[in-house]
Amino acid sequence: MLNMRGVVMPRFPVAPFGAAVLVASAIGTASAADLPGPAPMPPPTAPAVYVPMGPAFSWTGFYIGANAGYGWSSGSGTATVTGPAGTDAFSASGNGFVGGGQAGFNYQFDGAVIGLETDFQGTSGSGPFTATGAAPITATAKDPWFGTVRGRLGYSFDRFMIYATGGGVYGDATANGRSGGTAFSTSATYLTWTAGLGIEYAFWGRVSGKVEYLYAGSPSSLPPIPRISSVSGSADNNLVRAGLNYHF
C-alpha cells in the first residue's frame, strides 16, 4: 500500500487482531464474574451501656449494737475445809440466757480487719454447786452479769467477714445455800480470759449481723463459803450469741 509520498506502508491483518481483542475481553468478563462480591455489612449493634459500680463496703469505723444468746458451764475440783480440817470434792454446773450490748471500732486495710470491742451482759445463768466431805455443801450459784474487753482480727470479703477474738472477762458470781449446816449468801467479782470465733455480714446499709462463739476460762475467785478456806479446780464456760451492729 502506497502513501501519498509513495512509501510502501505495511499491511496488517485487521480481522485476526480484532478477534483477539474480543476473546481477551470475553475472558476478562468471565474472570470478573467468577470473583466473589463484597462481604455483607454486619447488622448494627446496640452501643455498650456503662453501669458504674458502687464502692466496696468498708468495715472501718465505730459501731454499736445489741446481742442475745445462750451460755452453759461446768466445773469440778477440791475445797479445803477448816475446823475440823479436811477436804471436800465439789462439782458445779449452770446454764441460762444472755443478753446485752456491745460497742467497738474496726480498721480495715486491704482485706484484713483489726478492731477492739467491749460488751456488757445480763444473764439468767444459774446451777447447782455441791460438795461432799468434811463440810457438805448444797448451794445454788448464779452469774447475774459479766462483761468482756476483746480484740478482734478478721478478714473481709467485701460485706462478709470472718474473725477471731480474745481478751478478758470480768463479772459477778453469787452463791446461796448451806455449808455443813450453816446457811450462807455471798457474792464475789472475778476476772478470767476468753477466746472465740465469729462471722459478720453487712446485709443492709450500715447494719450488720453477727454470730459468735466464746470460751472462757476458770474465774479468778469464787464467792466465800463458810468453813472453806481455798478451792482448786477448773471450769469450762461457753457462750453462743447473735447480734446486730450499726456502723457509723
pLDDT digits (tens, 9 = 90+) for 29-75: 444 445 455 667 667 665 665 555 556 889 999 999 999 999 999 99
User: Cβ neighbours of residue 112 under 8 Å, at least 6 residues apart?
Assistant: 153, 154, 155, 156
pLDDT at 113 (0 to 100): 98
In a domain, 223, yes or no: yes
pLDDT band at 27; cut points 50, 70, 90: very low
In a domain, 37, yes or no: no
In a domain, 149, yes or no: yes
In a domain, 44, yes or no: no
Domain residues for the domain of 240 are: 61-247
pLDDT at 4 (0 to 100): 37
pLDDT at 86 (0 to 100): 87
The sign of the dihedral angle between the CA atoms of 20, 26, 27, 29 is positive
Q: How many domains does the chain have?
A: 1
For residue 175, the domain's CATH number is 2.40.160.20
By the 8 A CB rule, do 3 and 11 touch? no
Chain-wide mean pLDDT for the chain? 85
In a domain, 22, yes or no: no
In a domain, 10, yes or no: no
By the 8 A CB rule, do 248 and 60 touch? no
Give this prediction's pTM: 0.77
pLDDT score of 153 more than 90: yes
The CA distance from 106 to 114, in Å, is: 6
pLDDT at 11 (0 to 100): 46
Percent of the chain predicted with pLDDT > 70: 78
Higher pLDDT, residue 14 or 75: 75
